[in-house]
A and B are shown apart, each in its own frame.
Chain A
């Protein structure tokens, strides 16, 4: 087998793994958009905020330490404990649920029935607010996140491929774990949406508000639930990206990576988010590998958008989005 092809296969698999991470972020968008028609610009910041909270809780940081010290003249910074990852994750999930409740209670409860653009702008405000809140609570320095996920080259794959191709593939253990977790998460979400009462109510709300009310579904409850689930998805994405490249501001920008994924997969489709993520992940890695050297590299920044725009020309609703048919 020619070397170039072997490298391409390796790049393909790395692309798949990267795509899983994009899909995770896109999934959060889809959930909220489907259930409430809100394009949640703050999804990326939610991932950042969740990751910051997780690190803060695990490291025993005192939230709002700077503020407390400035006001009271104290010098508290740490509680002096280190909590296991599981406790940290559970606490963070609770924080995200409270956040979902507050978001619904303070913002969106008052915006029911408003134009989508108003709702969208509210989420922009929410994004910047949460960014500031995160910094105020946990500080803005780059933090290391370690919840005990395996990292580094997978030796088994390396050896096996070396024996076959005379070239060992570099596949990161973290990427494999991320893929497995993403599969579990997505299956869980699908089961939840299809079979549970809450999931059915969620689909009902996504379809028609009035009808949902008339069969006894509380819109408020469903929206809080959806924001909580999106918060949980953001936490998972935050853990993966945070473990990979540290918890820092740039984490919130992965939301921008999710945009082309959504354009590709459609804003309302869970499978679309997954497939879209994989296509973008593989596409941009392969493009960089094959075409990048010819045109001076750095194609990863724009390739996803060009791909998504091309698709928009032919299928404006995305690959899996609901087709818009208008009767004239």
Chain B
């Protein structure tokens, strides 16, 4: 696949050019190599999945993309430009939003306030204007609020808008976290195990939202998941990792028939 042209997905959508490119990424923690020389790209408008058994290095990979880890080797290109090692908050300001495997929400705030924090980096009004609540700040606040309300409607969490997040059940918390990430209108959305710990019904809801978000807002999404079934249904292209190495990359049907992938998931005798 060339770097400039898009492709057509299995369900007939047209995918654009490369948004994010990871080149020969290697990440070590002391003597442990979590990621070994991995190269892959994420294209505009696609749902890209990273899968693999436990400990394969999926989360580490996502943390490299979002700037929480800095790889020892390799290069990261975002929207055609080489990205220097950035702090996580700088990556977020570039338009890469994320959720966490273990949910990182502001427990003390309401759902709406949580979602509004997604707009923090978009606020430009001066501190005086914000304090007296006039002029630019007022206009900005209204706009930001509209965007947040739209996201809240979209994810069907209107009824809990004013509820403190700490009182919500797990599945809803995950959805609020997604809402906060969406509120920033990200150019790339990273989801770290969006369906971990959910029951079947919640998983179906979440899958539907991920597809709808991609469809409605055209958001580019990269997600990690180890539930093979879910991933194959959701994603346009899949990277498969095992022991820190990339063992497969392609459409779900390509990956499904890849012998190395089957071995990694089903186990194979090493003789």
Binding site for B on A (CB under 8 A): 191-192, 195-198, 200-201, 203-204, 206-208, 210-219, 322
Contact = CB atoms under 8 A, between A and B. Distances in A.
Of all A-B residue pairs in the complex, the 10 with the closest CB atoms, nearest first, are A216-B92, A216-B121, A211-B104, A207-B106, A213-B88, A210-B104, A196-B130, A197-B123, A216-B93, A218-B89
B120 A208 contact: no
21 contacts: A192-B131, A196-B127, A197-B127, A200-B117, A201-B120, A208-B105, A210-B104, A211-B106, A211-B117, A213-B87, A213-B88, A213-B89, A214-B66, A214-B98, A214-B100, A215-B120, A216-B89, A216-B92, A216-B93, A217-B89, A218-B87
Contacts of A212: 89, 106, 117
A197 B131 contact: no
Contact of B120 (A197, A207, A322): A197
A213 B92 contact: yes
Contacts of B125: 197
A98 B196 CA distance: 45
B248 interface: no
Nearest to A210: B104
Interface string B29-57: 00000000000000000000000000000
B131 A191 contact: yes
Nearest to B127: A196
Contacts of B87: 213, 218
A197 B92 CA distance: 16
Interface SS, A side: helix
Interface string B208-249: 000000000000000000000000000000000000000000
Nearest to A220: B87
B118 interface: yes
B97 interface: yes
Given A197-B130, A206-B108, A215-B121, 5 more contacts: A195-B131, A213-B87, A215-B180, A216-B89, A216-B184
A204 B98 contact: no
Interface string B113-148: 000111011010101001101000000000000000
Contact of A217 (B97, B100, B116, B120): B120
Interface in B65-104: 66, 68, 87-90, 92-93, 97-100, 104
A314 to B, nearest CB: 24
B262 interface: no
Contacts of A215: 92, 97, 117-118, 120-121, 180, 184
A151 B125 CA distance: 41
A219 B89 contact: yes
Nearest to B97: A214
Nearest to B190: A214
A81 B199 CA distance: 74
Nearest to B141: A195
B109 A195 contact: no
B107 interface: yes
A195 B127 CA distance: 9
A210 B106 CA distance: 10
A221 B130 CA distance: 19
Contacts of A217: 89, 120
Contacts of A197: 120, 123, 125, 127, 130
Contacts of B99: 214
Contacts of B105: 208, 211
Task: Name the residue among A204, A207, A213, A216 with the largest chain B CB count within 10 angstroms.
Answer: A216
A317 to B, nearest CB: 14
B89 A204 contact: no
B194 to A, nearest CB: 14
Contacts of B180: 211, 215
A191 B130 CA distance: 9
B11 to A, nearest CB: 30
Nearest to B131: A191
A216 B185 CA distance: 13
A10 B108 CA distance: 41
A212 B104 CA distance: 9
B120 A214 contact: no
Contacts of A192: 131
A208 B89 contact: no
Nearest to B105: A211
Contacts of A203: 106, 108-109
A196 B131 contact: yes
A204 B104 contact: no
Contacts of A201: 120
Given A216-B89, A216-B121, A217-B120, A208 B66 contact: no
Contact of A208 (B88, B93, B98, B104): B104
Contacts of A211: 100, 104-106, 117, 180
Contacts of A198: 127
A92 to B, nearest CB: 21
